[in-house]
Homo-oligomer: A and B are copies of this chain.
Amino acid sequence: MVRRIQWSGHACPIARAVDVLGEPWTLLILRNATTGTTRFDDFRAELGIADNVLSTRLAKLTEAGLLARVPYRDGGRTRHEYRLTQAGADALPVLLTLAAWGDEHTSAEPPAGRMRIVHRTCGARTRPATSCDECGRPVQREDMLWYRPWRSKEPVPLVEPVG
């Protein structure tokens, strides 16, 4: 892609980040990896993404160091799963600021319950953000649950990044 050659070493950090993260499927794969999806078949089923597109995006995210390709045993076979790394986990603020913008400026059709962040430290259920509406403090990754009523009545914790 011409685009990668242009932007990967660009002086502007926004351009360099866009080179890795600025693509729809990439952002949605990272979103799902953030709440614990690791396996090809699960990403495919959850996202409704074509096999070849998913393969390409997972390979790019692995190459860029946001996911780690880790072997696991499936019956007698060795397969690979994709685990979120620290660099992948560090994209969380990008996902949260996207969520905040989407929450503010777009709406679900048909209407759906809103995404909220549960801040474990103070107990509040706040809007997607990097700081808490209620206590004003920064919400650390480990103190955060994602509440998405259209998926589950139970807020889910975020995965711990690997190595």
> Can you list, as one digit per residue, whether each of A2-25 has a CB less than 8 Å from chain B (1) or not (0)?
010011111111111111111110
**Of all chain B residues, which has the CB nearest A24?**
B22
Cβ of A98 under 8 Å from chain B: yes
> Can you list, as one digit per residue, whether each of A83-110 has a CB less than 8 Å from chain B (1) or not (0)?
0000100110111111111111111111
Residue A14 contacts which of B99, B130, B138, B150 (CB distance < 8 angstroms)? Answer: B99
Question: What copy number does this chain have within its complex?
Answer: 2
Q: Bound state CA distance, A125 and B51, in angstroms?
A: 45
A28 touches B14 (CB 8 A): yes
Q: Given A94-B98, A131-B131, do A115 and B3 touch, yes or no (CB 8 Å)? A: no
Known A11-B112, A90-B105, A130-B130; 19 more pairs at CB < 8 Å: A3-B24, A8-B106, A11-B151, A12-B115, A12-B148, A13-B98, A13-B115, A14-B98, A14-B99, A16-B108, A17-B99, A18-B98, A20-B102, A21-B101, A90-B101, A93-B100, A94-B94, A94-B101, A131-B131
